[in-house]
Structure 1
Amino acid sequence: MASGTLRRRTDTSSGPTEVLLRTGPFHEALRAAIDDSGLTLGSLRARLAQRGIRVSLTSLSYWQQGRSRPERPNSLRAVQAIEVILGLPRHSLVALLGPPRPRGRWAGREAVPRGYEGFLEPADALDQTVESVLGPSDRKLRVFFQEDIAWVGADRTIRRVRTRMVVRALEDDADRHVLVYCGEQGAQAADLTPAAVENCRLGRVRRHLSCPVIAVELLFDRRLRTGETYLLEYALDIARSPVSHDYRRAFRYPAETYVLGVRFDSAALPVRCHRLVREPEEPLARGGDDIILSSAHSVHLAEHDIRPGVLGIAWEWD
Structure 2
Amino acid sequence: MSSQTVPARGGQRSPDVDLLLHAGPFHAALRAAIEDSGLTLEGVRHRLAQRGIRVSLASLSYWQQGRSRPERADSLRAVRAIEHILGLPAHSLAALLGPPRPRGRWTRRNTPDQHYDGLLEPAAALAQTVRPVLGPSDHKLRVFSQEDRVRVGADRAIRVVRTSVVVRALEDDPDRFLAVYCAEPGSRAGDILPSAGENCRLGRVRRHPHAPVIAIELLFDRRLRAGETHLFDYQFTIDSAVPSVDYRRGFRYPGDSYVLGIRFAEESIPVRCFAFTQHEPHGGSNVDGELPVTPGRWVHRVARDLRPGVLGVRWEWE
Aligned partner of 1:109 in structure 2 is 99
Aligned amino acid, residue 71 of structure 2: R
Rounded to whole Å, the distance in 1 between the matches of 2:152 and 2:284 is 23
Secondary structure of the residue that 1:130 maps to in structure 2? helix
Per-residue Cα deviation, 1:68-92 (whole angstroms, up to 9, x for no partner) = xxxxxxxxxxxxxxxxxxxxxxxxx
Aligned partner of 1:293 in structure 2 is 293
TM score, norm. by length of structure 2? 0.66
Query: Does the Cα contact within 8 Å between 2:98 and 2:170 map onto a contact in 1?
Result: no
Aligned partner of 2:247 in structure 1 is 247
TM score, norm. by length of structure 1? 0.66
Aligned partner of 1:128 in structure 2 is 128
Deviation at 1:307, TM superposition (A): 1.0
Query: Does the Cα contact within 8 Å between 1:118 and 1:279 map onto a contact in 2?
Result: no
Aligned partner of 2:316 in structure 1 is 316
Secondary structure of the residue that 2:138 maps to in structure 1? helix
Deviation at 1:254, TM superposition (A): 1.1
Aligned partner of 1:182 in structure 2 is 182
| Match status 1:217 vs 2:185 | no
Rounded to whole Å, the distance in 1 between the matches of 2:174 and 2:234 is 18
Rounded to whole Å, the distance in 1 between the matches of 2:126 and 2:255 is 20
Deviation at 1:121, TM superposition (A): 1.0
Unaligned runs of 5+ in 1: 1-99
Aligned partner of 1:149 in structure 2 is 149
Aligned partner of 1:196 in structure 2 is 196
Aligned amino acid, residue 156 of structure 2: R
Secondary structure of the residue that 1:221 maps to in structure 2? coil
* Residues paired across the two proteins, number: 220
Deviation at 1:102, TM superposition (A): 6.8
Query: Does the Cα contact within 8 Å between 1:186 and 1:241 map onto a contact in 2?
Result: no
Secondary structure of the residue that 1:132 maps to in structure 2? helix
Secondary structure of the residue that 1:155 maps to in structure 2? coil
Aligned alpha-carbon RMSD (Å): 2.0
Aligned amino acid, residue 109 of structure 1: P
Deviation at 1:301, TM superposition (A): 0.5
Query: Does the Cα contact within 8 Å between 1:167 and 1:230 map onto a contact in 2?
Result: yes
Query: Does the Cα contact within 8 Å between 1:142 and 1:254 map onto a contact in 2?
Result: no
- Show the 5 A alignment for 1:30-69: none
Query: Does the Cα contact within 8 Å between 1:274 and 1:313 map onto a contact in 2?
Result: yes
The range that moved more, 275-284 or 154-163, is 275-284
Secondary structure of the residue that 2:127 maps to in structure 1? helix
Query: Does the Cα contact within 8 Å between 2:146 and 2:164 map onto a contact in 1?
Result: yes
Deviation at 1:116, TM superposition (A): 1.0
| Match status 1:277 vs 2:245 | no
Secondary structure of the residue that 2:226 maps to in structure 1? coil
- Give percent identity, aligned residues only: 54
Rounded to whole Å, the distance in 1 between the matches of 2:242 and 2:153 is 12
Rounded to whole Å, the distance in 1 between the matches of 2:187 and 2:181 is 12
Secondary structure of the residue that 1:224 maps to in structure 2? coil
Per-residue Cα deviation, 1:87-106 (whole angstroms, up to 9, x for no partner) = xxxxxxxxxxxxx9973346
Rounded to whole Å, the distance in 2 between the matches of 1:263 and 1:291 is 13
Rounded to whole Å, the distance in 2 between the matches of 1:282 and 1:125 is 16
Instruction: Note closer, same or farther for the CA distance 1:272–1:302 as it changes in structure 2 (3 Å cut).
Output: same
Query: Does the Cα contact within 8 Å between 1:156 and 1:244 map onto a contact in 2?
Result: yes
Per-residue Cα deviation, 1:236-279 (whole angstroms, up to 9, x for no partner) = 00011411000000011111110000000010000010001111
